[in-house]
């Protein structure tokens, strides 16, 4: 089957991104889905397929995605799916589903309340159960080891990392930041993402339906994701081959992009991804501030695609969005969006 490039992002929305919300995940989703579909003149009855991205370990409730169905109005019974992944992977599944050509509109979400528990205790449970989980191998430790590898390879240094932090957050001063203590050497507080509660929802539409809904749909012309070995012991941490292969498969090399939204939760990840993707200095990277500014787990990647779509909606021609999952950029997703005149 030939892959259709006539499927487009036509809108998206995100909740306020806050350190701590009083709202439940269902409430976040209810509001953000409404915010995504209403400006397009759509109701929940118009949605042919939904795919939600969330994580039970973060919520602290088994099958929490079943409760989240309350937010999509799943009656009469709907085509629905769920991924225990960032909403960016939910979008991938919806994009695949629309390829079948029998339905026109899909809504995907990513949602998480990171403030619910302690990420340093939750994430080790997702690691290798024999060799990593039993020693509480936490995400900041892994990030620090990857940062050290990137520094050793000349891809990053502590000053360049601080510069990324200042640019992303639009505040701070590099020399001052570099005086801070290490959280995990060589990472300081500014190299780490914030803990953020929030959700995002995105609307995908196919063919003429997309063009009816918006003047300038953001067509998905390339979409791919690849994974590497689960245990960082067996990977070259100063590289990201899965990102490179996904970008090639998504057609990054066919034409320049004007903007790249990279899901870099740690400062060195942005430098490493830039290097692996071979982005020139002309490319605007993470003008949104990226995951260093707001990091709603399970929605952070979907937001990257949302900001890239905004670039197209605003008249841009070609943008790249990246999402990642797992320790040390284990799994990477690349989505290329284009406008048409």
Partner 1 sequence: MPHVVRFVENTITFPYVRSLGPVTGAFMTALTDKRILGIRNGDAVLCPPMEWDPATGAELPHDLVEVGPAGTVESWTWVPEPTLQHPLDHPFAFAFIRLDGASTPLLYAVDAGSPDAMSEGMRVAPRWKGERIGHLTDIVAFVPGEEPEVDGEDLGPASEPVELMDYLASITYRNPVPPTSDLVVEASREHRLVGFLCPECGKTYIGGRGVCPIDSLEFGAEHAIDLPHTGTLTNHVVITPVPYPGQTETEPFGRVFIALDGSDATLGYQPIVDMSVDDIRVGMRMKAVWAPADEAVEDGGGMGGAYGALIGWTPSGEPDVDDPDLVNRIF
- Angle (CA) 27 57 51, round 5°: 55
Residue 73 interacts with partner 1 (CB under 8 A): yes or no: yes
From the list 24, 81, 275, 317, which residue makes contact with partner 1 (rule: CB under 8 A)? 24
Is there a contact between 318 and 331 (Cβ–Cβ < 8 Å)?
Answer: no
- Residue 180 binds partner 1 (CB under 8 A): no
Choose which of 180, 182, 236, 289 interacts with partner 1 (CB under 8 A): 182
Residue 6 beta carbon to partner 1: minimum distance, rounded to whole angstroms: 29
Does the CA dihedral 227-232-235-241 come out positive or negative?
Answer: positive
Going from the C-alpha of 149 to that of each of 269, 297, 336, the distances in angstroms are 11, 25, 28
| Residue span binding partner 1 (CB under 8 A) among the ranges 78-86, 135-143, 245-253, 282-290 | 135-143
User: Is 16 among the residues that bind partner 1 (CB under 8 A)?
Assistant: no
Site string for partner 1, 149-168 (x = CB under 8 A): x-------------------
Nearer to partner 1, 118 or 173 (CB): 118
Q: Is 22 in the site for partner 1 (CB under 8 A)?
A: yes
Instruction: Compare residues 153 and 214 and give the one whose CB is closer to partner 1.
Output: 153
The stretch near partner 1 (CB under 8 A) out of 58-66, 104-112, 156-164, 306-314 is 58-66
Cα end-to-end span (Å), the chain: 27
Does residue 214 interact with partner 1 by CB under 8 A? no
Separation CA 140–CA 57 (nearest Å): 18
Nearest to 218 by CA among 320, 91, 89, 310: 310
Q: What is the DSSP string of 17-80?
A: -BSS-SS-HHHHHHHHHHHHHGGGT--GGG--EEEEE--HHHHTSTTHHHHHGGGTT--S--EE
Q: What angle do CA 26, 31, 32 make, to 5 degrees?
A: 100
Please confirm whether the linkage preceding 76 is cis (ω < 30° from 0): yes
Query: How near is the Cβ of 203 to partner 1 at its closest, in Å?
Result: 15
Closer of 24 and 81 to partner 1 (Cβ) = 24
**Residue 118 or 208 with smaller CB distance to partner 1:** 118
Q: State in angstroms the smallest separation of the CB of 138 from partner 1.
A: 6
Residues 6+ apart with CB under 8 A from 34: none
Position of tokens 């589903």? 97
Q: Which residues make up the interface to partner 1 (CB under 8 A)?
A: 21-24, 26-27, 30, 33-34, 44, 57, 59-61, 69-75, 113, 115-118, 120-122, 124-125, 128-138, 141, 144-145, 148-149, 181-187, 229, 231-235
């Amino acid at each position: 089957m030939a892959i259709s490039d006539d499927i487009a992002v036509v809108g998206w929305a995100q909740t306020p991104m806050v350190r701590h919300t009083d709202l439940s995940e269902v409430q976040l989703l209810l509001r953000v889905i409404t915010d995504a579909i209403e400006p397009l003149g759509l109701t929940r009855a118009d949605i042919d397929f939904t795919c939600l991205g969330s994580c039970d370990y973060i919520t602290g409730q088994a099958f929490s995605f079943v409760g989240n169905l309350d937010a999509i109005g799943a009656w009469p019974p709907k085509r629905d799916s769920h991924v225990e992944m960032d909403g960016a992977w939910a979008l991938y599944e919806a994009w695949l589903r629309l390829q079948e050509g029998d339905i026109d509109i899909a809504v995907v979400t990513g949602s998480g309340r990171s403030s619910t528990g302690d990420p340093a205790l939750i994430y080790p449970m997702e690691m290798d159960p024999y060799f990593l989980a039993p020693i509480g191998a936490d995400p900041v430790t892994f990030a620090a080891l990857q940062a050290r590898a990137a520094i050793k390879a000349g891809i990053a240094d502590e000053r360049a990392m601080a510069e990324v932090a200042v640019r992303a957050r639009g505040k701070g001063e590099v020399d001052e930041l570099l005086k801070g203590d290490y959280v995990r050497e060589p990472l300081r507080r500014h190299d780490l993402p914030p803990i953020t509660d929030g959700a995002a929802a995105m609307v995908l539409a196919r063919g003429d339906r997309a063009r009816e809904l918006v003047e300038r749909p953001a067509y998905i012309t390339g979409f791919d994701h690849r994974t590497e070995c689960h245990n960082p012991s067996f990977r070259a941490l100063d590289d990201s081959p899965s990102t490179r292969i996904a970008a090639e498969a998504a057609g990054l090399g066919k034409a320049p992009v004007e903007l790249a939204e990279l899901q870099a939760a740690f400062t060195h990840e942005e430098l490493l991804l830039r290097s692996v993707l071979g982005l020139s200095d002309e490319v605007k990277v993470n003008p949104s501030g990226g995951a260093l500014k707001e990091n709603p787990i399970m929605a952070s990647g979907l937001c990257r695609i949302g900001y890239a779509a905004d670039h197209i909606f605003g008249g841009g021609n070609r943008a790249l969005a990246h999402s990642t999952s797992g320790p040390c950029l284990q799994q990477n997703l690349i989505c290329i969006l284009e406008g048409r005149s």
